[in-house]
């Protein structure tokens, strides 16, 4: 069987050696060059490309790569994008609103992506294969790795309660008791899309004098995590830390989080100053298995 071709974007250089060149023209248009393009004909191709930060440019760049690899006659194309932007907009709340999670997935599928491998994707509530819109997705979870880090490095081998701040992330904590708050956001203010405040966060857990890890799929503005940390701190927990697969950490929210815990960390699906749990081994395992996932 012909060897699989791995194409690696420069934004994946912290994990694998890049072999795609990406630059910009003076007007901001993206320029992409794939020196190995001629070798893609009739082969299975795996593209490693991050879609955050600068998600709009990163998405367009990926569409260019897919179009080119498809045109070159690849037999099958798998994309590995550790964080999928727009994954939170999977429902239409307003008349005429685009459900951009579907739009992104459909665009990737139509551009030639046969499989997307991504991590703890917001609109999926389980690990493994799923179809979303027209796109086949393999959702890989970092839940066990994030819990393992807390137990080993933060709680020094002591037991801890693991709680997620909303039901969407419940599968991340399922192997550890599966406790989750139920979060309800308010409506958009004056029908203008910006951000919906957290309305309520329901759930009471017996955490008095216990170690607690609060675990979510992502920390973006931090408002969800801070609401959960407030409740857990008020309930008398002993030592509290928090983590997420994807650390966007917008608006210096770490400073606010640190009022409740000095321990906040993430994986490196998005490389940031708090990335403590690497995804590399999972990716190596997947590629060693020749990505025979479906
Ligand atoms: C939402 O349902 C997700 O699981 C996260 O809880 C949320 O997206 C985090 O966003 P933020 O940090 O802005 O509250």
19-70 per-position pLDDT tens digit? 999 999 999 999 999 999 999 999 999 999 999 999 999 999 999 999 999 9
Report pLDDT for 294: 33
Longest CA–CA separation in the chain, Å: 62
The whole-number pLDDT of residue 192 equals 67
Q: Is the pLDDT of residue 286 over 60?
A: yes
Is the C-beta atom of 218 inside 6 A of ligand 1?
yes
Nearest protein CA to atom 10 of ligand 1, as residue: 220
pLDDT in tens, 246-258: 999 999 899 999 9
* Residue 290: predicted pLDDT: 56
Whether the pLDDT of residue 292 is over 50: the answer is no
Ligand 1 atom closest to the CA of 217, numbered from 1: 4
Whether 5 is in the pocket of ligand 1, judged by its Cβ within 6 Å, is no
Catalytic residue among 144, 189, 190, 238: 190
166 within ligand 1 shell (Cβ under 6 A)? yes
**C-alpha 220 to ligand 1 mean position (Å):** 6
- Which of 73-87, 245-259, 277-291 shows the lowest mean pLDDT across its residues? 277-291
**Which protein residue's CA is at the shortest distance from atom 5 of ligand 1?**
218
- Counting DSSP H helices and E strands in the chain, the numbers are 7, 16
Note the pTM of the prediction, 2 decimals.
Answer: 0.95
Domains and CATH numbers, the chain: 5-141+279-288 (3.40.50.2020), 143-277 (3.40.50.2020)
| Dist CA 104 CA 101 (whole Å) | 5
Best CA proximity match to 177, nearest among 154, 210, 199, 128: 210
Whether 153 is a known active-site residue: answer no
pLDDT tens for each residue of 139-192? 999 999 999 999 999 999 999 999 999 999 999 999 888 899 998 888 877 666
Helices (H), the chain: 55-71, 100-111, 143-149, 170-173, 223-234, 253-257, 280-288
- What's the mean per-residue pLDDT of the chain? 93
- For ligand 1, atom 6, the nearest C-alpha belongs to 224
Name the DSSP class of 199. Answer: E
| 169 Cβ below 6 A of ligand 1 | yes
| Per-residue model confidence as pLDDT tens digits over 189-206 | 766 666 778 888 898 899
């Amino acid at each position: 069987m012909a060897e699989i071709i791995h194409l690696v974007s420069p934004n994946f250089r912290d994990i694998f050696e890049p072999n795609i060149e990406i630059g910009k023209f003076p007007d901001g248009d993206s320029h992409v060059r794939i020196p190995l393009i001629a070798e893609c004909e009739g082969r299975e191709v795996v593209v490693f490309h991050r879609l955050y930060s600068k998600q709009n440019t990163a998405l367009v760049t990926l569409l260019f790569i897919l179009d080119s690899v498809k045109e070159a006659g690849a037999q099958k194309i798998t994309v590995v994008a550790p964080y999928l932007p727009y994954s939170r907009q999977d429902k239409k709340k307003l008349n005429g609103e685009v459900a951009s999670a579907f739009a992104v997935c459909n665009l990737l599928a139509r551009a030639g992506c046969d499989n997307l491998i991504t991590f703890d994707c917001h609109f999926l509530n389980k690990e493994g294969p799923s179809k979303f819109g027209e796109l086949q997705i393999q959702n890989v979870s970092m839940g066990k790795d994030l819990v393992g880090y807390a137990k080993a490095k933060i709680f020094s081998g002591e037991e801890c309660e693991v709680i997620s701040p909303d039901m969407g992330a419940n599968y991340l904590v399922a192997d550890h008791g599966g406790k989750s708050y139920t979060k309800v956001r308010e409506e958009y203010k004056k029908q203008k899309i910006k951000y919906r405040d957290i309305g309520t966060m329901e759930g009471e857990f017996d955490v008095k004098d216990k170690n607690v890890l609060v675990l979510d799929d992502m920390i973006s503005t931090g408002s969800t995590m801070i609401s959960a940390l407030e409740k857990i701190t008020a309930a008398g927990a002993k030592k509290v830390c928090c983590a997420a697969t994807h650390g966007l950490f917008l608006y210096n929210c770490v400073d606010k989080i640190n009022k409740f815990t000095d321990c906040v960390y993430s994986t490196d699906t998005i490389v940031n100053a708090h990335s403590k749990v690497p995804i590399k081994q999972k990716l190596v395992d997947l590629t060693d298995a020749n990505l025979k996932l479906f």
